[in-house]
A = this chain, B = another copy of it.
Amino acid sequence: MSTSPKQPSEAEAPGAADAGPDAPWFEPGRVPEQRPGKAGGKRDRNRQERTLGLCAAALGEFLERGVERVTVDEITKAAGVAKGSFYRYFEDKGQVVDALFAPLRKEMEQAFSECAGALARAGSSAELSAAYQALAMRLGQAALREPRLVKLYLQECRGPAEGARLPIRQLRDSITAAAVALTEVAHRQHLLRDLPPKITAFAVVGAVESLLIAFFEGEDLGSPTDAAQALVRMVLEGVGQR
């Protein structure tokens, strides 16, 4: 132990570091509790590399064959790592999914709650719109940071909340709840036509998801910019107040 420069007990979360521009987009589920070596030492870097490699490999396999069908052996083989190493860093497949989605979930929940706060403080309809736009920006950026994660989410989010898919379903529940809540605010503020806000919320979320999937599956939707514009037009004219 000695007088090491850092207190291991309350260091920042192992994989997240300080969220720099290319901080890993996931958090290792369980780096062994006792981790010797200084923060930037070789051991530390090795651990980083292993967890990152495993997560990346797992993401690829998940996308190709579905979370349920992928085995730990496949993940380790794709990562070029022995099976035992997998179990050093993760308890099971589910924890990898957890690690993959943790940062996205955190970012989204923060974005939602900040948007809700802005809406509560807003005095004019211009301020309301600005809050929604800011939210859309943040979500878009979060999605763009690791698009394959979004694809995995879309692919798995409807399955039963069982086993490894659990964290994905939780993310979906949180997105659904936020969409409904935000829509209800908009509705109360008469930003929306007089349609049931829940229905509006689900319809819009569904439309966005469907277009994203089409995009990911290589459908030719024209330029992303044009597609996004078309979507916005549809939504505004379909559900927005005249």
Closest CB-CB distance, A218 to chain B, in whole Å? 12
Chain B residues in 8 Å Cβ range of A155:
158-160
Closest CB-CB distance, A107 to chain B, in whole Å? 23
On whether the beta carbons of A203 and B210 are closer than 8 Å, the reply is yes
Known: A160-B65, A205-B210, A209-B206. A238 touches B234 (CB 8 A): yes
A191 to B75, CA, bound (A): 50
On whether the beta carbons of B160 and A199 are closer than 8 Å, the reply is no
On whether the beta carbons of B196 and A203 are closer than 8 Å, the reply is no
Closest CB-CB distance, A78 to chain B, in whole Å? 15
Which residue from chain B places its CB closest to the CB of A204 in the assembled complex? B207
Selected contact of A158 from candidates B158, B204, B206, B211, CB within 8 Å: B158
A residues 138-159 near B (Cβ < 8 Å) are 154-159
A206 to B212, CA, bound (A): 10
Selected contact of A230 from candidates B65, B195, B207, B219, CB within 8 Å: B195
Q: Is A87 an interface residue (CB 8 A)?
A: no
Mark each residue of chain A from 211 to 240: 1 if its CB lies under 8 Å from any CB of chain B, else 0: 101100001111000110011011101110
Selected contact of A211 from candidates B66, B157, B203, B209, CB within 8 Å: B203
A210 to B68, CA, bound (A): 23
Interface size on A, residues (CB 8 A): 48
On whether the beta carbons of A69 and B163 are closer than 8 Å, the reply is yes
Mark each residue of chain A from 178 to 218: 1 if its CB lies under 8 Å from any CB of chain B, else 0: 00000000000000000110111011111111110110000
On whether the beta carbons of A199 and B158 are closer than 8 Å, the reply is no
Closest CB-CB distance, A4 to chain B, in whole Å? 46
- Measured CB to CB, the residues of A under 8 A from B are 63-66, 68-69, 154-160, 162-163, 165, 176, 195-196, 198-200, 202-211, 213-214, 219-222, 226-227, 230-231, 233-235, 237-239
Nearest 9 A-B pairs (CB), nearest first?
Answer: A238-B238, A206-B210, A68-B68, A203-B207, A206-B206, A234-B238, A206-B207, A202-B210, A66-B160
